[in-house]
Amino acid sequence: MTQKIEPVYFDSSIEPLDPASVHQVELSSGRMMPVAAFGTFHSDWAQDYMKEATAEAIRLGWRHLDTARAYENEEVVGEAIRRAIREGYIASSDELFITGKLWNGHMAPKDVAPALDGTLKALGIDQIDLYLNHWPWPNVHTPGCAGDHRNPDAVPYIHEAFLETWAEIVKLKQAGKIVDIGTSNHTAATMKLLLRDVQKDERPVCNQMEMHPLMQQTELRRTFKSEGVVCTGYMSLGSPNRPARDTFKEHRADMMDRTIQAIAGELEVPPPKVCLAWAAQRMNKSGGFVAMATRSDWIRDNLSCAVDDLLSPEQVLRISGDGTPEHPGIDANNRLIWGQVFLWPEADGDWRLLWDDSQVFESREGYAKFKASWERHHRVQMETTVC
Ligand SMILES: NC(=O)c1ccc[n+]([C@@H]2O[C@H](COP(=O)([O-])OP(=O)(O)OC[C@H]3O[C@@H](n4cnc5c(N)ncnc54)[C@H](OP(=O)(O)O)[C@@H]3O)[C@@H](O)[C@H]2O)c1
């Protein structure tokens, strides 16, 4: 059940920004992508407002929408797009850059094409600009599940299976239903395997991953960038209203960080603008960000971070650091998405295995052998445990 938190504040007197002034990044396909993507994941409570918020984002100048089947609101986003056309904010959906995502439950090869068809129909478009594989394995959780939910059928990354899914995505690109293809939540090892085994025109142009000032992922981003994969950061503001299942006492709030607050004070802007400006400007403006908001002033403010260079190079350096004692930066490896609801049994409940590449398998056979030995080991442990 969604919980309503008032007020949600849309203000038609707020002037839009010129979409042409929003910075774009070149993908390896040669196409340009607006660096600021409006997020449509509803943080549970905001679902009721996504239509208004998305239409308002288009009115205020956002042209890149980040959508996903998993957000269970593609129809709502489709309605927002139609409303934006009716209201004259855009002449047609061709003016938008739309990102969509294949959900984990649709990764079986036979399910990929019908899943994309469903997405296109719901959004009311014939072709999607960028289609990402949402997660690298087919593990599903029930919508709105609690943090301790576990799926006994969950599996780790199995490259052989992923390549079968990827081949279907490539076919849909060749059929003209997708313009560019990419990944989301890929790690160093899973990306390396993918790039090893696909042709040049089958490579992902983009990887969407968690990135914010307290979780910078600089090395991973540098590696992906060197392979021509643009990195787009989600939870760029630190996702203050994320669902309870993704909230842990170890987490820190990016907007409350002392350096972020100090820079906000120097510039006389609110801390969220510093987070997004950093996301847009860091590493020579080579990546993008996704951000969601349900208020006109925040929606516009957030987009403005991809228009002007708000931060000086010195301020970017204070946040990013450069590996020297003089400039340590503020990265704290403060991962917000632990992804524990996706864990497979052999991860032994340790969410870090989702990210550290210690259980990545080339083949189903390799995983089956590992699983058998893990189960034997567990049996021995159970039998030798003295109660
Ligand atoms: N690929 C993936 O696996 C993945 C995972 C997570 C998210 N995403 C994408 O990334 C998007 C963003 O993630 P997110 O929504 O969790 O995190 P976020 O963009 O970091 O945070 C959004 C929250 O920040 C608040 N906010 C926005 N602008 C603000 C401002 N200027 N001042 C103060 N507060 C502000 C919003 O509040 P209100 O709600 O009150 O407006 C909203 O709840 C999602 O919508 C989704 O599209 C992708």
- The CATH code of the domain that includes 173 is 3.20.20.100
Q: Is the peptide bond before 7 cis (omega within 30 degrees of 0)?
A: yes
Q: Is 39 exposed, middle or buried (0-12, 13-18, 19+ CB in 10 A)?
A: buried
What was the pLDDT predicted at 25?
A: 98
**Ligand 1 pocket, residue 239 CB under 6 Å:** yes
What was the pLDDT predicted at 133?
A: 98
Q: Residue 59 has which token pair?
A: 């009115």
Nearest Cα neighbor of 79 from 48, 109, 44 is: 48
Give the 3-state secondary structure percentages of the chain, helix then strand then coil, rounded to 5: 45, 15, 40
Residue 33 lies in a domain: yes
- pTM (two decimals): 0.96
How many domains, the chain? Answer: 1
CA distance linking residue 232 with residue 208, whole number of Å: 5
* Nearest protein CA to atom 30 of ligand 1, as residue: 298
- Domain of 141 in residue numbering reads as 22-384
Q: Where are the alpha helices (DSSP H) in 252-363?
A: 258-267, 271-285, 296-304, 313-320
**Ligand 1 pocket, residue 255 CB under 6 Å:** no
What was the pLDDT predicted at 150?
A: 82
Residue 215 Ramachandran class (φ > 0 left, ψ -120 to 50 alpha, else beta): beta
Residue 16 lies in a domain: no
Q: Residue 244 has which token pair?
A: 């309870």
Residue 14 lies in a domain: no
Residue 8 lies in a domain: no
Q: How many CB atoms lie within 10 A of CB 307?
A: 18
Residues taking part in catalysis: 71
Q: Residue 208 has which token pair?
A: 């969407």
What was the pLDDT predicted at 377?
A: 86
Q: Which atom of ligand 1 is nearest to the CA of 212?
A: 20
CA distance linking residue 283 with residue 237, whole number of Å: 18
**Ligand 1 pocket, residue 17 CB under 6 Å:** no
Residue 49 lies in a domain: yes
**Ligand 1 pocket, residue 302 CB under 6 Å:** yes
Residue 4 lies in a domain: no
* Nearest protein CA to atom 7 of ligand 1, as residue: 234
Residue burial 79-90, b: 16+ Cβ < 10 Å; e: rest: bbbebbbeeebb
What was the pLDDT predicted at 2?
A: 47
Q: Which atom of ligand 1 is nearest to the CA of 295?
A: 41
Residue 5 lies in a domain: no
Residue 18 Ramachandran class (φ > 0 left, ψ -120 to 50 alpha, else beta): beta
Measured in Å, residue 367 CA sits from the centre of ligand 1 at 36
pLDDT < 50 positions in the chain: 1-2, 387
Residue 15 lies in a domain: no
**Ligand 1 pocket, residue 38 CB under 6 Å:** no
Pocket test for ligand 1, best of 4, 10, 43 (most atoms within 8 A of CB): 43
Measured in Å, residue 44 CA sits from the centre of ligand 1 at 11
CA distance linking residue 230 with residue 287, whole number of Å: 6
Q: Where are the alpha helices (DSSP H) in 180-295?
A: 188-197, 218-226, 258-267, 271-285
**Ligand 1 pocket, residue 247 CB under 6 Å:** no
**Ligand 1 pocket, residue 304 CB under 6 Å:** no
CA distance linking residue 242 with residue 45, whole number of Å: 9
* Nearest protein CA to atom 31 of ligand 1, as residue: 298
Specify which residues 230 forms β-bridges with.
Answer: 206
CA 367 and chain centroid, separation? 27
Q: Which atom of ligand 1 is nearest to the CA of 209?
A: 1
